Amino acid sequence: MEPEYTKYILGQVNSQQYQSNYNSIPPHLTIQKECYAHSDLITSLLFYQSGNSFISTSMDGYVMDWDTESFDFKNDYYIGHTGLIYGTTDENNCIAVICADGSVSLIDKRSGKYICIETPRRKATKCCFCQNDLVIGYNDGIIKFWNIAQQKFGDTIEQHHKSIISLSSKKNEVMSASTEGTVGVWDVIKKEKRYTFSLDKSIMNCKYVPNGKMLLLLIETGDAFFYKLENNSKSQYFYGFNKTNQNSPFDFLTDTREGQFLKKFIVNSDGLNSINIWSVETMKCIQSIPTDDITITALSCHPTEMFFITGGDLSDTSIKLWK
């Protein structure tokens, strides 16, 4: 059963009520930097939590590690495996990528070497790092924990029954979402579930809000909404958030100073030829940036500053920085 609708604003940060200037809009965003390094569709982009670096993956089989300020890549790793569909990092020594054939490769940035983690009869769809493990979600709904130091599988979560569409972590928690409409938050230290709920619609994407107290879910209708974990409630909808039935990327554009979210917006690709910026308060699109017939396939916002990066399909495989 779905939770009831609740109208709310995004709570507190560091136990202090913040004051947000919702009437202000992001500055006029233009392309500040652009580079061509991949030769095929870009499948994922992700800033490190520091914001000083980011990674990119592509169907050309490469994962690249970039410096944000110079916009030059520091290292590149060729994995192959008919292309890469997703990448993530543990902020320190490891990068994990999911390959198009369903295998997972774990890269040691210190040595440049990688190992391939294969699971017979299953294809990996998402992964994230949590504590000392790489958490891997599969197309049958199974979630497995790979111990990086011991290089072997440990715990398994068998809560979902269809493909894992989203997997992310906050401290000692892992959040998972499945295409069947189920979402779970798991405490990996206590080895127990903290929250679970289900919807009557398929989930296309799901992500933690930066304060970690809510989720933003995109469902099959193309609409999105906030879900508040503590009281099992959801907000009104961001109507028309996505204009296709594909899993289009989105992220949170924030201006953060001393723990306070001074400005809060959501940036997403509409699945066609526009980048949209949404107000968290009004839940409406306040800016739409045409991308000249280029479909944005990857997007990541800087964790504390008001800019983001995008990657596109075969018609334009460049990485662009918007500010």
Q: For the chain, what are the domain ranges?
A: 12-322
The residue among 180, 191, 181 whose CA lies nearest residue 135 is 191
Question: Under a CB-based contact definition with an 8 Å cutoff, are residues 71 and 35 in contact?
Answer: yes
Residue ranges of alpha helices (H) inside the chain are: none
Mean pLDDT of the chain: 86
Rounded average pLDDT over 136-149 = 95
Q: What is the CATH number of domain 12-322?
A: 2.130.10.10
Look up the pTM and report it: 0.88
What pairing do the DSSP bridges indicate for beta strands 214-219 and 203-208? antiparallel
pLDDT beyond 70 at 22:
no
Buried-exposed string 293-311: b where 16+ CB fall within 10 A, e elsewhere:
ebbbbbbbbbeeebbbbbb
Strands of the sheet containing 104-108, edge to edge, are: 84-89, 94-99, 104-108, 114-117
pLDDT beyond 70 at 109:
yes
Rounded average pLDDT over 164-174 = 92
Tokens of 201: 């619609």
Where does the pLDDT of residue 179 fall: very low under 50, low under 70, confident under 90, or very high at 90 and above? very high
Check residue 55 and give its pLDDT: 96
What count of Cα atoms within 13 Å lies in the side-chain half-sphere of residue 273?
A: 7
